[in-house]
Amino acid sequence: MKLNELNFEPRQVKQTNAVEYRGAIHNAAAKRNMRAQREVDAWKDKDPSKINYLGSGAYGTAYNLPRKTNTVVKIGNVEGNRVGTDGYLTFIKFVKAAQDEGQSNPYLPQIHDVKMLKDRIGRVFYKVRMEKLDPLPYFSEKQEDLWPIWQKILHTDQEGAMEYVSKHRSVAHPMLSLLQLINDGIENPRSPKMKQIDPQLKAAMILINKAMHASKTETDIGPHNVMIRRTPYGPQLVVLDPLA
C-alpha cells in the first residue's frame, strides 16, 4: 500500500499536522506497521520538512506535520474487512452523521471527513480527518487540572465536584473516577446515576451506546481514549475512541 494510494495530495498534506497509523489487531499487524513505516520513510526522504516522527503506540505510529493547522489524519485497517463491526469506524460515522445534521456535541470530536480505501490485495482501510486534541493530564502530572472538567460536567464548583466524586464514585482519584463515569454512562446512559451530569455529555453517551450496539462491540475507556480540547473557557472533555 503506497501513501499516494491513500490520497495524500499536497493540498491535504498542508492541512494536517499529524498522521497516525492504526494497524489491525491480529498477527500481521507488526508486519504491516513495518511496511507502513518504510513507506512513510520514503515519503520523508522526498520532503523531510513535511513530516516528523511523533510517537508510536500499540496500533501504529504517529507523525507530526509541522506545516499546518490543528488537524490530524488517522488511517486504520478494518479487521477482516468487516466494516459494520469495526467499533472505531462505527463511532466515527455516528458522530459525523450527527454533525452533518447540525447536532454538534462538545464532548465528541469534530470530524472533517471519512473515506474508505482499499489496497492492492483487497484490504479495507479508512482515513479519518479530524481536529487535533490534547491528552488528559496523566497520573504523574497535575491532577487538579481535571477538576475544571468535573465542574463543567456537574455544573458546580470545585468543592461540589470533589464531594460528588467522593460520594458517588467507587474511587476518589479524579482521573480514574472520570474514566469510570464515562464507561458507566456509555453502558447505561439512562441510569439514575447519570441524572446529575451535563445533558450534552449524556447525549454523547447515548450516541456512543447506539454505536456500540450497532457494531456489537464493548466500551474501551482509558486515558488514551479520552482527550481535551483547549478553549477560552477552560479544557473541554472529548471522548475520542470509546469502543473496541
Q: What is the mean pLDDT of the chain?
A: 76
More confident residue, 65 or 174: 174
Q: Give me the mean pLDDT over the 182-201 stretch.
A: 94
Residues forming a β-bridge with 238: 227
Contact status, residue 237 vs residue 149, Cβ threshold 8 Å = yes
Contact status, residue 154 vs residue 167, Cβ threshold 8 Å = no
Q: Give me the mean pLDDT over the 106-135 stretch.
A: 86
As a whole number of angstroms, the distance between CA 11 and CA 181 comes to: 40
Q: Which of 162, 176, 237 is nearest to 205 (CA)?
A: 237
Q: Give me the mean pLDDT over the 216-233 stretch.
A: 91
pLDDT higher than threshold 70 for residue 205: yes
Give the pLDDT of residue 34.
54
Contact status, residue 50 vs residue 67, Cβ threshold 8 Å = yes
Give the pLDDT of residue 35.
52
As a whole number of angstroms, the distance between CA 82 and CA 25 comes to: 13
Lookup: cell for 123? 484490504
Tell me the CA distances in angstroms from 96 to 35, 42, 102, 112, 202, one per residue in order: 30, 32, 10, 8, 18
More confident residue, 202 or 38: 202
